[in-house]
Amino acid sequence: MFYWYKKSTLLVLAVGLGLTACTSAAPQALPTESNAPEPAPVIKTATSLPTEPAPSGAEAEFSTDFNKHSVPYDEILSGGPSKDGIPPIDNPTYDSVSDANAWLNDREPVVLVQVGDEARAYPLQILTWHEIVNDTFGDKPLVVSFCPLCNTAIAFERTFNGQVLDFGTTGRLRYSNLIMYDRQTETWWQQATGDAIAGELTGTQLAFYPASIISWADFKTQYPEGSVLSKETGYNRSYGRNPYPGYDDISQSPFLYTGELYVDQLPAMARVLTIELEDETVAYPYDVLREQGVVNDEVGGESAAIFWVAGTASALDTATIEDGQDVGAALAYLRQVAGRTLSFTVNDGIIRDNETGSIWNIFGQATAGELEGETLPPIISVNHFWFSWAAFQPETRIYQP
């Protein structure tokens, strides 16, 4: 059986084109050079709850210090598999775009992660079966994670307090969300928030790194020299098959979820793109984004734009991922560029700014017009099912036109 966000502050990046993710810390700028200093770990104010019995069976599998924890253990459920029963990929290999094109459909969803000029695609047809990839870009160790039950693809820095951590799956869930652990201290980490929730490092938080879900067609067009996570993982899995067919049906209920669903605001399984700037959190329903194409908004005192394009299949719809319904892709940016604040409209699928009439693509790049060559600063954002975001961010404003 296979399974499968707390106060988040999203990081605004002035460089790079990958997006997505949430954190519950004060705003930080991620390093923009390979030799930039490592972000300091975030220390929470409340580091531990009173001692209580560890989650069932955990002490037999883990050397974790379960006396230290920041969440009640009765919120943690078994997902079925044991420790690393869903095996992470520790030694990833890569295909070229031309080679991967033989086995990836244009509509298939992939996770884009970019460090400098190096862009990599992590197909969800692989991540669905492994959930974690321990990877390194040059000298930057990253972990790329995906929780199918929450539809959350998030990347984190693996360097923590000068030590490189390797991550695995605990086989446990909280609010239906993947709980990871690191092999060095066996601390348990909440994937949706990056928080250390049990063990030695309780009260700290991983640094997020931008990642975004886009279509294979968009990736290969933008990054023809990029690389693609290979299906040669060392494991025999049905890559391309969805082990959760029909899971993203709007009438479904979350699997292994206990807690408030906030369905008075949105259906539990509604897709949303979520961001937080300063102390404001906003969820942008995909149904609204599909109708609008572009959203101009103000979040936390900043001018933001959300671009949506069609062409990305759901990984959680049909039994074969490439046949999934078209849910599109959404990415978020600041609207300031070249010393001015822009506003955007879309007509016939073409995004233009109202100030200069320049044409923009989903990657926030001006491809024609007065501003050709300019790039909008990305805002880290993350895809969620509504229940997943609301469980950690119940105070969220839901965007309406």
List the chain pLDDT tens, one digit each, 401 residues.
222 222 233 333 333 333 333 333 333 323 333 334 455 555 554 556 777 889 999 999 999 999 999 999 999 999 889 999 999 999 999 999 999 999 999 999 999 999 999 999 999 999 999 999 999 999 999 999 999 999 999 999 999 999 999 999 999 999 999 999 999 999 999 999 999 999 999 999 999 899 999 999 999 999 999 999 999 999 999 999 999 999 999 998 999 998 889 999 999 999 999 998 998 999 999 999 999 999 999 999 999 999 999 999 999 999 999 999 999 999 999 999 988 999 999 999 999 999 999 999 999 999 999 999 999 999 989 999 999 999 999 999 999 99
147 forms bridges with which residues in the sheet? Answer: 152
DSSP H/E element including 160: strand 159-160
Q: CA dihedral in degrees (250, 243, 289, 312; nearest 10)?
A: -140
- Residue 228, SS3? strand
368 forms bridges with which residues in the sheet? Answer: 359
Distance CA 351, CA 295 (A): 11
Cβ contacts of residue 222 below 8 Å, gap of 6+?
A: 17, 119, 361, 363
Q: Which two tokens stand for residue 207?
A: 């640094």
Q: Kindly report the pTM of this predicted structure.
A: 0.88
* CA distances to 27, 190, 193 from 182, in Å: 24, 11, 15
